[in-house]
Amino acid sequence: MNQTHSSHSKQQVAAISMAASAAMAAGKFTVALLTGSLGVLSEALHSLIDFGATVVTWFAVRWSDLPADDNHHYGHAKIESVAALLEAVLLALTAFYVAYEAVLRLWHGQTPARVEWWAPALIGVAIVVDYNRSHALKAVAKDSSSQALAADAAHFESDMYGSIAVLLGLVGLWLGITWADSAAALVVSGFVGYIGFDLARDTLSTLLDRAPEGMTEQVRDLVEREDGVLRVEQLRVRQAGPITYVAVVADVPRSLPQASVEALKLKLSAAIAAALPGCDLSLALNGVALDSETAFEKVGMIAAAHGLYVHHLTVQQLEERLAVSFDVEMDGATALDAAHEKATELEEAIRQGLGGDVEVESHIEPQPVHLIQGLHADAKTVSQVERALRGLAAKEKLLSDVHNIRVRRVKDGLFVHYHCRFKPNLRIDAVHAVVDRLENQLVAKLPDVKRVVAHAEPVGRAKHKL
């Protein structure tokens, strides 16, 4: 919907609603004065408040559509939020007054005069009108993101439910239930109060520039997953009428050529505009020096985007450039030329993501089988492995003991699992050196062993449960 058509639709539906609420208020007041029904009076007051609110809304939507000027750089859209907040206050006052009168009548046992047939008939007409106006207002409010029209829709919706309660109260009076009218008025006050509270909460969120639900995460993810972006440094999102204002400051490698920075900026702008149509975007890309932390993060993100897993990632800061190396896992059945092509694509993506002038080198490894069939090894094999492992462990001074030794036979050989303990303050590189040495020695002594998994624990802690 273009801006001119949207503005015309908003003003038209606001004007019709103003006329409808005036007619409903006049009709309900007539019934209230003739019957003395507090339920009808409460609805009449509600409709009178609605009339005042629709007048405010009509002026608000006309003012909010004025373009930005030298004194209002973001336009005038927030006048709708101010109007909606005013309507919420009026609803709260109405709810309080009606509840107060209802409680007094229940306490003193007051009942209205005899109810004529045309009283509920008028309330029925009001229900139909309220439903129609609420539906029409909601549709235009959604299309134009108008808070003032949404507030008007809430008014008419609360009117509709309130009128239903009043209608039930009048029926109760016909049936001789003297307190039915006051009870209906209390129900009306509850509806009005709830609608007012809900409206005030949403309006205050907009006035306080609370970011729309989920939008910050959506924009951050969209920007950070783009090759060439290191991280989002600052992100601000706020809503003003139909316009979403987005301000993004992101870091990119300072070594990235200016032409690439401009191309990246255009690409990001198009992506954000596609995700948030009609948004007002401010996007800045700052060139920063790469460090190992940002390089590690970016390489992991790029590899994940390519569906590949990398490990043993190393980033070296040389005098003239950055050097990145890593192991990349692929299916062992993949042909070398296909695997090399995938690795080359990943290397180029990392090179571009880190600024272009980066040395990138990968080592292709067969991906471990995630699920293999295994059987418990026979007692003789288990005994042989246990003797060999304990004998080798006895020679390691840093190692306290080995326990929970398990041996499984798989298609290609034996898998050995065991737990061991070390001093709590021992560095993990020293621990790894010991278990790595044990694995190499055990494989050399028993060639049928294909894999050794060691679980290291600190002495003094409870042993790990299997």
Give bridge partners of residue 324 from the DSSP assignment. 315, 360
Element (H, E) at 295: helix 292-305
b (16+ CB within 10 A) / e for 266-301: eebeeebeeebeebeeebebeebebeeebbeebbeb
Element (H, E) at 1: none
Phi, psi at 285, each rounded to 5°: -115, 115
Mean pLDDT along residues 7-14:
58
Cα angle value 291/297/299 (rounded, 5°): 95
Instruction: Note every long-range contact of 203-210, with CB atoms under 8 Å and residues 24 or more positions apart, other chains counting.
Output: 203/81, 203/84, 203/85, 203/88, 203/147, 203/151, 204/85, 206/78, 206/81, 206/147, 206/239, 206/240, 207/78, 207/81, 207/82, 207/85, 209/238, 210/238
Q: Is residue 306 part of a domain?
A: yes
As a 3-state breakdown, the chain gives helix, strand, coil percent values, each rounded to 5, of 55, 20, 25
Residues 345 and 414 in one domain: no
The answer to whether the pTM exceeds 0.75 is: no
> What's the structural domain count of the chain?
4
CB 167 within 8 A of CB 174: no
Which of 227, 255, 288 is the C-terminal boundary of a domain? 288
Residues 36 and 89 in one domain: yes
* Residue 28's pLDDT band (cuts 50, 70, 90): low
Q: Is residue 464 part of a domain?
A: no
CB 256 within 8 A of CB 287: yes
Q: Is residue 463 part of a domain?
A: no
Residues 26 and 168 in one domain: yes
pLDDT at 397: 92
Element (H, E) at 117: none
Residues 448 and 302 in one domain: no
Whether residue 147 has pLDDT greater than 60: no
Give bridge partners of residue 330 from the DSSP assignment. 366
Q: Is residue 309 part of a domain?
A: yes
Which of the residue ranges 141-145, 218-222, 372-376 has the most confident prediction, judged by mean pLDDT?
Answer: 218-222
- Contacts of 324 by beta carbon, 8 Å cutoff, 6+ apart: 295, 299, 313, 314, 315, 316, 350, 354, 358, 359, 360, 361
Residues 314 and 354 in one domain: yes
Whether residue 12 has pLDDT greater than 80: no
Strands across the sheet containing 413-422: 375-376, 401-410, 413-422, 449-458
Residues 111 and 45 in one domain: yes
Cα angle value 129/135/137 (rounded, 5°): 100
User: How many angstroms separate the CA atoms of 71 and 67, rounded?
Assistant: 11
Q: Is residue 242 part of a domain?
A: yes
Whether residue 1 has pLDDT greater than 50: no
Element (H, E) at 328: strand 322-330
Does 390 or 278 have the greater pLDDT score? 390
Which of 366, 387, 412 is the C-terminal boundary of a domain? 366
pLDDT at 285: 92
CB 408 within 8 A of CB 376: yes
Residues 55 and 202 in one domain: yes
Does 193 or 312 have the greater pLDDT score? 312
User: How many angstroms separate the CA atoms of 158 and 232, rounded?
Assistant: 43
Element (H, E) at 247: strand 243-253
Residue 330 token pair:
């692929």
Provide the angle, in degrees to the nearest 10, between the axes of the packed helices 38-64 and 3-35: 160
Q: Is residue 423 part of a domain?
A: yes
Residues 52 and 154 in one domain: yes
Give bridge partners of residue 284 from the DSSP assignment. 249
Residues 337 and 396 in one domain: no
Identify the DSSP state of 404.
E
Which of 244, 268, 288 is the C-terminal boundary of a domain? 288
User: How many angstroms separate the CA atoms of 217 and 341, rounded?
Assistant: 34
Whether residue 155 has pLDDT greater than 80: no
Distances (CA, A) of 272 to 246, 287, 302, 342: 9, 21, 20, 29
Whether residue 2 has pLDDT greater than 50: no
Its domain, for residue 351, covers 292-366
What pLDDT digit, counting tens, does each position of 396-429 carry? 999 988 999 999 998 888 999 999 999 999 999 9
Mean pLDDT along residues 456-465:
83
Q: Is residue 465 part of a domain?
A: no
pLDDT at 432: 92
Whether residue 3 has pLDDT greater than 60: no
* Residue 301's pLDDT band (cuts 50, 70, 90): confident
pLDDT at 4: 46
What pLDDT digit, counting tens, does each position of 44-89 carry? 666 666 666 666 666 655 665 566 666 655 655 666 667 677 777 8
Strand pairing report for 401-410 and 322-330: unpaired
* Residue 5's pLDDT band (cuts 50, 70, 90): very low
CB 288 within 8 A of CB 252: yes
Residues 270 and 297 in one domain: no
pLDDT at 135: 77
**Side-chain half-sphere exposure of 417, counting CA atoms within 13 A:** 10
Residues 186 and 221 in one domain: no
Residues 331 and 433 in one domain: no
The CATH code of the domain that includes 329 is 3.30.70.1350
Distances (CA, A) of 167 to 106, 143, 352: 18, 33, 70
Residue 128 token pair:
């139909």
Q: Is residue 353 part of a domain?
A: yes
Lowest-pLDDT choice from 73-77, 141-145, 315-319: 73-77
pLDDT at 7: 53
What pLDDT digit, counting tens, does each position of 165-221 carry? 667 766 776 666 767 767 777 777 777 778 778 777 777 776 766 777 788 899 999
Length of the chain (residues): 466
Percent of the chain with pLDDT over 90: 25
